[in-house]
Chains A and B, each alone.
Chain A
Amino acid sequence: MQAFKSGQVPSTVMDRIAKGFSDDEVKAIAAWYGAQKD
């Protein structure tokens, strides 16, 4: 998400979406993904 936000990873829509989330929110999303088993 941070890489999309900074443009480090090229994208079509993800760069624009990532800019709508704060660093804390990105961390919360990452923590949620990390907790998923499948």
Chain B
Amino acid sequence: MAAKRTSRRQFLKTAAAGAALLPLPAIAQGAGGRVVIVGGGFGGASCARFIKRIDPRITVTLVEANPTFIACPFSNGVIAGLRDLKAQEFGYDKLAADPVVLQLSPGTAIDPQGRTVTLGNGTRLPYDRLVLSPGIDIRWDGLPGYTEAAAERMPHAWKAGEQTLLLRRQLEAMEDGGTVVMSAPANPFRCPPGPYERASLIAYYLKTKKPKSKLIILDAKDAFSKQRLFQNAWKALYPNLEWVSLSNGGKVTSVDVGAMTLVTDFGRHKADVANVIPPQKAARIAEMAGVADRTGWCPIDPATFESKLQPNVHVVGDASIAGAMPKSAFSANAQAKVCAAAVAKLLAGGSPDEPKLINTCYSLVAPDYGISIVGVYRPADGQIKEVEGSAGVSPLDAPTSTRALEATFANAWFNTITTEVFG
């Protein structure tokens, strides 16, 4: 417990160090104001806490439909039976003590002209600034045959919770010698390395529990995050894992749930267990607020995360079009801090400073085999761009001790970020 507290303090220091580059607004007279935040994940909960930390006089209300947040990072470990779903669950008690006003009800309507958010429980919340961190929705019209009912047979498990457990149960129920088929979508989507971490950990489960089984990943892309690191590891660890690229006919064009079959232009793949990671878009509330464009995602100002389509509305996390930044929990958390500083400064009548953002994504290829990708970002030419020379993945030729160390750091990262956001 003591160790956890120390790491949290260290992390807050780091976070505030980032803020040193975007100086805090001078505590001006008459600051305050009302901020409503919709979405209590890594982006929204972080933003709520950091606004209160920067200027306690601002009234911050967090709108979230679910009383318990279920984190996606590390949920692939739950699917592979390495971890309990309970380890992914977090509550909002600590935010309430900050104090952030909690409204545990879904946002059902947004009036950007009148500056109000209406909730499922009938409450109408006025705001001076609105922050949306709603995450993703599945494009149910994006893959023929893949309906909400189909997801009960072929889980996506791309929002952690019941879907995660469903996929785990299906793997547990599968006989040794079965075939697991996964499909990965085209860019952009939540967690670019996620499908490949999931494939790795499912392959680990099969290797240790059902060694006669095989795993096929059908991919709508020819390239993916940390590709060479993953592929080298697969060659060494998982001979029964096969990746089919777009060029080799990997793009799934429809699914036939009755026949438990994924269809590509090149053929049909019958599955004993099918995990379809479908096309995605910003969650529906973004569309309702008028901040999503024709791509389904939300264009933002790279320095403040204010919507390019609606004034006084900011969008952070997976729903935003954040240029070179991947859709990750770490990105959402970093964006939330920048957004919090900008919102506080704008409410105080100041002009926001130019931010610098960091992302790190760890993936586990096996429980003791971690790899990472890192990037540092800044606004340039109206977009978020990578700082030249900063980005990179783990070395290709690292010894097993480095992989084990990165697996340890991956676990430490999860504990640190969830403590910062919810603890």
Contacts and interface: CB of A to CB of B under 8 A. Distances in A.
B51 interface: no
A32 B21 CA distance: 9
A33 B405 CA distance: 26
A13 B21 CA distance: 21
Contact of B17 (A16, A20, A29, A38): A29
A11 B244 CA distance: 34
Query: Which of A12, A21, A32 neighbours the largest number of chain B CB atoms within 10 Å of its CB?
Result: A12
30 contacts: A12-B372, A12-B394, A12-B402, A12-B406, A13-B360, A13-B372, A13-B374, A16-B390, A16-B392, A17-B358, A17-B360, A17-B374, A17-B376, A19-B389, A20-B356, A20-B375, A20-B376, A20-B377, A20-B387, A20-B390, A20-B391, A25-B21, A25-B356, A29-B17, A29-B21, A32-B16, A32-B17, A32-B20, A33-B13, A36-B13
Nearest to A28: B20
B69 interface: no
B17 A17 contact: no
Contacts of A31: 20
Contacts of B212: none
Contacts of A13: 360, 372, 374, 409
Nearest to A38: B9
Interface string A5-38: 0000000110011011100010011011100101
Q: State the 9 A-B residue pairs at the shortest beta-carbon distance, nearest first.
A: A20-B376, A20-B390, A32-B20, A16-B374, A20-B387, A16-B392, A29-B17, A19-B390, A13-B374
Contacts, number: 50
Interface string B376-403: 1100000000010111101000000010
A36 B394 CA distance: 32
Interface of B: 9, 13, 16-17, 20-21, 356, 358, 360, 372, 374-377, 387, 389-392, 394, 402, 405-406, 409
Interface of A: 12-13, 16-17, 19-21, 25, 28-29, 31-33, 36, 38
A11 B60 CA distance: 38
A31 B23 CA distance: 13
Contact of B21 (A12, A19, A28, A36): A28
A19 B376 CA distance: 8
Contact of A21 (B13, B356, B405): B356
Query: Which of A13, A19, A31 neighbours the largest number of chain B CB atoms within 10 Å of its CB?
Result: A13
A7 to B, nearest CB: 12
B363 to A, nearest CB: 13
Given A12-B409, A21-B356, A33 B17 contact: yes
A16 B391 CA distance: 6
Contacts of B20: 28-29, 31-32
A19 B374 CA distance: 11
Contacts of A19: 376, 387, 389-390
A1 to B, nearest CB: 10
A12 B394 CA distance: 7
A19 B392 CA distance: 10
A38 B12 CA distance: 12
Contacts of A36: 13
B17 to A, nearest CB: 5
A31 B16 CA distance: 12
A38 B13 CA distance: 10
Given A12-B402, A17-B376, A17-B390, 16 more contacts: A12-B405, A12-B406, A13-B372, A13-B374, A16-B391, A19-B376, A19-B389, A19-B390, A20-B358, A20-B376, A20-B377, A25-B21, A28-B20, A29-B20, A29-B21, A36-B13
